Chains A and B, each alone.
Chain A
């Protein structure tokens, strides 16, 4: 079976966890790991797995992109360098899956975009898609599960994550998390208005990621339909995040519909409690696989942008 060749930019925790997932994929093959630090453990680990590596950033692999037939790249660096990375690779016809908060491309939450057809209408190709935030990946499917049944006036999500799973980038710009997530809760989740709250909990042993999703419907909630829709959506998410579980709910209270989720990671490279990080790498992998299926089937040809 043909596999689509991929590059990972950023050999940190996220990039390395992504590497583990790509190695298991039947549609994707990780070929390059790109870093900037010659002493990086992540680069060393990637070399052990047989990947080509460079410590000169994206520039270090550009010459080989065509020869190695790289078609999809994952950016797990930072919002500040993402645009430059994306421009260089798009110019060579490589599509970019953005795990940073840069969000220069459209948001992608796999089960929702899958339903809509990520490729959109014929002829429209996205060369850069953004994975929103961990809180977004964990909650937006639940907002959508309600909004596809009936109009949601307002959706609010509370993501609680273990302190050890929150990296310095998120900490330096936590506002970016709340803003980006709130925006995507509305635009992708299908709510008129969105709000996002993040809470960091330092308990030991570290707590598994929890997410609460409140939706305020426009009219009295259709309980049976919402319950069925939520159940179906959970099954969709579990296809790529098996530890995505309903802890309680849906609770119906007047116009309020609330679901209480837990997200346990696969524990590939990251610890299991860090479901917030796992759901990002899993969603990115799932998204890339959706594109890979199209490329392999000949329905999608990536062109230099």
Chain B
């Protein structure tokens, strides 16, 4: 693979996707310290939001340590070169949240839908573009449908005004060929000025390989998380990817040692437990299950006595999509009843 001379933009996820393993409890001070570290290391774009996007504060997904607005206002003014993005999942967040985030100073809004449901993003993408924001359409669980179907949905988002389209491997299920097939088709058929992005999860340890495959196929925005802090076994680890890019002659603008220091000194110490591939996060990637389900399945295991792996497999069989966190407790209850397991109500 010869990618020498390529220039790409890495987008840090540790303060958004990384909210999942932290149960959305990252403090304002931790956000400030990490974002300043990322900024100083040369990361050009940093996402800051509840793990499930703007408006994600809920019983269903978890109440965060601070509001989206508090996080954004605490982080953005201190950035020297980095820009800040926010994620918005229609059905959870609304255009009111988008306006709030823009008022806080985000320059990028990423509107995320399940990979078959792009048409719920029209009002949000329209508004983002109208407000002059860098507006990204983010197609989640992109492993679940064939490349030509992804393209149909990407074209919808492009028609609403998105200037960048992501194929998102929310389950960490894809192998490099899956990534190549999707990204190459998007690159071929979307407008030349529309950027293409890839967001990976490391559940099968394919974060780096998949991201390189994406770059080779035409993606120029790659999501990574400093210290790998993201849902499931985490996202593509930023410091590793940046180091690999450096070796291959791909320009990211990020300093390998500085970003490694942020990972080691600021991110790793705040983890409640290591973000790594274990039997449960492996199952996410192996069975194609939404990465954020991990901690919920572990909690259901503790409460109802059904192994998290079996709950995750059942969620996969039922083709659950992102956002259906409520169905984890429901599924565990049903399985416990079927198995005659008694639990303390």
Contacts and interface: CB of A to CB of B under 8 A. Distances in A.
Interface of A: 154, 156, 158, 160, 163, 168, 171-175, 177-179, 195, 197-203, 207, 210, 212, 214, 216, 247-249, 251-252, 256, 258, 260
B57 to A, nearest CB: 9
B329 interface: yes
Interface string B106-140: 00000000101101101100000000000000000
Given A201-B319, A203-B319, A172 B122 contact: yes
A199 B123 contact: no
B329 A200 contact: no
A163 B117 CA distance: 8
Contacts of A249: 333
Contacts of A168: 119
B2 interface: no
A113 to B, nearest CB: 27
A226 to B, nearest CB: 12
Nearest to B323: A199
Contacts, number: 97
Interface stretch (B72-80, B91-99, B305-313): B91-99
Contacts of A256: 59
B109 to A, nearest CB: 14
Given A175-B123, A247-B330, A199 B58 contact: no
A212 B319 contact: no
Given A200-B321, A207-B318, 19 more contacts: A158-B324, A163-B116, A172-B123, A173-B123, A175-B123, A197-B58, A198-B91, A200-B91, A201-B114, A202-B114, A202-B116, A247-B330, A247-B334, A248-B337, A249-B333, A251-B333, A251-B345, A260-B329, A260-B330
21 contacts: A156-B58, A158-B60, A160-B323, A160-B326, A163-B117, A175-B90, A175-B94, A199-B321, A199-B322, A199-B324, A201-B320, A203-B319, A214-B60, A216-B59, A248-B330, A252-B345, A256-B59, A258-B59, A258-B329, A260-B326, A260-B330
Interface residues of B, number: 31
A200 B94 contact: no
Contact of A214 (B59, B90, B318, B319): B59
A202 B329 contact: no
B326 A158 contact: yes
B270 interface: no
Q: Count chain B CB atoms within 10 A of each CB in A154, A197, A214 and give the residue with the most.
A: A197
CB-CB nearest 3 A-B residue pairs: A212-B326, A203-B319, A175-B94
A177 B318 CA distance: 25
B327 interface: yes
Contacts of A199: 91, 321-324
A298 B95 CA distance: 47
Contacts of B59: 154, 156, 214, 216, 256, 258
